């Protein structure tokens, strides 16, 4: 019989709860210690660049010259 099963053999439910609680506390303590040993993560506080509509229009115009000015709508009353 190995030590682990002998350790839990012939225990009352209250003793088993205590064994489980001790194991949980030890695991939590080990996790806290492991987390404290890790280097802190440096995060940038700036938000990523979001493209504006004007920048997108300029980029599309550079890629597709035949679409230059397509963003301007001409209503029926303004033609000719």
- 77 pLDDT higher than 80: no
Q: What does 5-22 look like in DSSP terms, one character per residue?
A: HHHTTT--HHHHHHHHHH
The Cα 5–Cα 11 span in angstroms is 11
Give the predicted TM-score (pTM) of the model.
Answer: 0.37
Higher pLDDT, 73 or 14: 14
Reported confidence tier of residue 39, pLDDT bands at 50, 70, 90:
confident
Q: What is the pLDDT of residues 57-69, one digit of tens each?
A: 889 889 988 888 7
Q: Quick one: pLDDT at residue 55?
A: 92
If you average pLDDT over residues 43-50, what whole number do you get? Answer: 74
């Amino acid at each position: 019989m190995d030590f682990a099963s002998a350790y839990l053999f012939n225990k009352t439910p209250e003793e088993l709860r205590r064994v489980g609680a001790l194991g949980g506390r030890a695991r939590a303590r080990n996790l806290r210690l492991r987390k404290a040993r890790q280097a802190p993560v440096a995060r940038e506080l700036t938000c990523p660049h979001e493209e504006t509509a004007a920048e997108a229009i300029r980029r599309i115009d550079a890629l597709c010259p035949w679409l230059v000015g397509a963003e301007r709508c001409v209503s029926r009353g303004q033609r000719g």
